[in-house]
Amino acid sequence: MTDNIFNQRVDYTKNDYLDENKLPSDPFELFRGWYEFALKNVEKDPNAMILSTVNNNQPRARVVLLKKLDERGFTYFTNYNSSKSQETNKNENASITFYWRDLERQIRIEGKVEKISDQESDEYFMSRPVGSRIGAWASPQSKEIKSRKEIEQAVEQIKKKFQNKEVTRPKNWGGLRLVPKYFEFWQGASSRLHDRIIFELIEEEWIKKRLAP
C-alpha cells in the first residue's frame, strides 16, 4: 500500500498558466469567474467547501455547502448549537476551501465568521424542501445520540407538531457568513510548478501577489 501511495502522481495540464497581471484586481470577481466555470463543468456539488475552524488549539474541518455569495462574504447554514457554530463563537477566525479536482483548481479563503440576519435565515429556510426543514428541527446537531431510531422518532414528532402547518425556522438554526481577508487561487501546472495567486486585504485595499509553488 505504501508503494502505491508513493507512486500516485498526476501531471496537471488542463489550464494555461495564470498571469497575475491579467487577473482582476478584485478577488470576488475572480472567484465568481472560477465558480461560474465550475457550475458548468463540475458534475456534482460545485458549491461544496471545506470549512475549517479551531476548537481551543485543535483545528477541525468538515465539508459544508455554500448557499449565498455577495460583497459581504460567503454564507453557509447550520444549527447554531453545532460544533462548527460553537467553535466560531469562541474563535471567529476560520477558513473555507473549494477544491475542484476535475478543473485542477483550488481556492482557499480566510476570514472571520459572523451571524447573518434573522430575515436572511428565514428566507433561505423557507426555500428548503419540507423534509429538510423538519430535519433541522429534529436533529440536535453534533450531540451524541443512542441510535438512528432516536432521530427517526424525533422526525415523526416534528411532523405531528407541524401537521397542517407551515414548518418555520427554529431559532437555533440559521446562517453564518465568512467575511474574507485573504484569498489564494491555486491552479495546477505541469511538473508541480503550480500557479498560486493571493489577495490580501490591507487597509481596505486588496493587494495581489504571486507565491512560489
Active site residues: 192
Instruction: Provide Rg for the chain, Cα atoms.
Output: 20
Q: Report how far residue 212's alpha carbon sits from residue 206's, in angstroms, rounded to the nearest whole number.
A: 19
Question: In b/e form, how buried is each residue of 76-92, taking b as 16+ CB within 10 angstroms?
Answer: bbbbbebbbbebbeeeb
Residue 67, amino acid: K
Please report where in the chains the cell 447554514 appears, as a residue: 77
Between CA 119 and CA 136 the distance in angstroms is: 17
d(CA 209, CA 213): 13
Contact 105, 34 (CB under 8 A): yes
DSSP state letter for 201: E
Rounded Cα gap, residues 168 and 57, in angstroms: 36
Rounded alpha-carbon distances, angstroms, from residue 146 to 68, 78, 133, 150, 213: 34, 22, 22, 7, 47
